[in-house]
Amino acid sequence: MKALLTGAAIGLLALTAPAIAQDYPGKPIRLIVGFAAGGGNDIIARVFGQKLSESLGQPVIVENKPGGGAIVATDYVAKSAPDGYTLLMSASGISINPAVYAKLPYDAINDFVAVSELAAFPLIMIVAQDSPIKSVAELVAFAKANPDKTNYGSSSASFQLVTELFKMKTGAPMQAIPYKSANESVLAVVSEQVTTTIADAGPVLQQVKGGTARALAVATAKRIDDLPDVPTLKEAGADVEAVLWSGIFVPKGTPPAIVKKLEGEFMRIAKMPDVIAKLKPIGIETIGNSSEEFAKILADDIARWSAVAKAANIKMEQ
């Protein structure tokens, strides 16, 4: 009897799953962003949110809940109803925060379902245009010869861990100088308050193309179209590859049929020519991968950055 009931329950679920996806959404969807309006993640959320609204026939309302390196927004979504009406637009900090905070109010893997990675941000290492440092090799040599005079700007744990990985791979001693935003850390390099910084393309490209900053290398697997003459860090002799990303998560327990529907929508939107055209000029590459692929990226990044944070003894307080 028990086996029959179990089989019946499974059959009922199989029948109702398509209906759940077909009826969804029946009301507005909230897209929660853990950063202030106007930043890269907010822009991505609004571009994708508009297209999602047009496709599903319901408003997609972008809500900004900044604070605590996006911990506030992430915790809010983790505790929201798993019904597909509250989505998290998360930066890759969700994979980095577990490495640097001793305790978080949520579990990045067990409290969420990864839906799709929407976009990636290439990272660029720069120095001031007037700096005598002309290459990654020269930066490493300068740092080793002048450990008390070499520092780097960092606006988040993400950028700090990438730079600490660079230090571990090259043996270059550099002191971290904190800033509130990537734009501030870039301007600190331009004004020669700090030696270098690694930041995303958004705030960097304008300074490089304007002649106030010099790009030494990109942290991507291959050179980027905007800076075809700038080598990758690996080409420059540093075995470092890192790309920050943004993607969609929903609370654990969200019906698989809804996850699958959202996954398909976001994968489709990421390939739309007008979406690509809007984001590419500000250094954002659209991705649109599957839920399974994105979940693996999350797990791999958590393991990778936890190892870097432990080796570099980086800890942060909320």
- My answer on whether 82 and 145 are in the same domain is no
What's the pLDDT at 6? 60
Which residues are CB-neighbours of 186 under 8 A, at least 6 positions away? 126, 153, 197, 199, 203, 204, 207, 213
What's the pLDDT at 172? 97
Per-residue pLDDT of 147-204, as tens digits, reads 999 999 998 888 999 999 999 999 999 999 999 888 899 999 999 999 999 998 888 9
**Distance (Å, rounded) from C-alpha 251 to C-alpha 83?**
8
Domain end (from 218, 235, 268): 218
Residue 126 confidence class, pLDDT cut points 50, 70, 90 = very high
**Distance (Å, rounded) from C-alpha 225 to C-alpha 240?**
19
Specify the number of domains making up the chain: 2
- My answer on whether 62 and 115 are in the same domain is yes
- My answer on whether 111 and 198 are in the same domain is no
Task: With a cut of 60, say whether residue 13 has pLDDT above it.
Answer: no
Residue 7 confidence class, pLDDT cut points 50, 70, 90 = low
Alpha helices in the chain (DSSP H): 2-23, 40-56, 71-78, 93-100, 136-145, 157-170, 182-190, 201-209, 256-270, 273-279, 291-312
Task: With a cut of 60, say whether residue 277 has pLDDT above it.
Answer: yes
Average pLDDT, the chain: 92
- My answer on whether 101 and 49 are in the same domain is yes
How far from 291 is each of 42, 261, 295, 306, 318, CA to CA, in Å? Answer: 21, 11, 6, 23, 30
- 160: domain range? 122-218
* Mean pLDDT confidence for 106-116: 97
- My answer on whether 187 and 247 are in the same domain is no
What's the pLDDT at 2? 46
Asked, for residue 288, whether it belongs to a domain, the answer is yes
What's the pLDDT at 1? 47
> Domain with 89 in it: what CATH number?
3.40.190.150
Task: With a cut of 50, say whether residue 258 has pLDDT above it.
Answer: yes
What's the pLDDT at 20? 64
* Mean pLDDT confidence for 25-32: 98
What's the pLDDT at 156? 85
- % of the chain residues with pLDDT over 70: 93
DSSP line for 211-271: TSEEEEEE-SSS--TT-TTSPBTTTTT-----EEEEEEEEETT--HHHHHHHHHHHHHHHT
- My answer on whether 89 and 155 are in the same domain is no
> Domain with 175 in it: what CATH number?
3.40.190.10
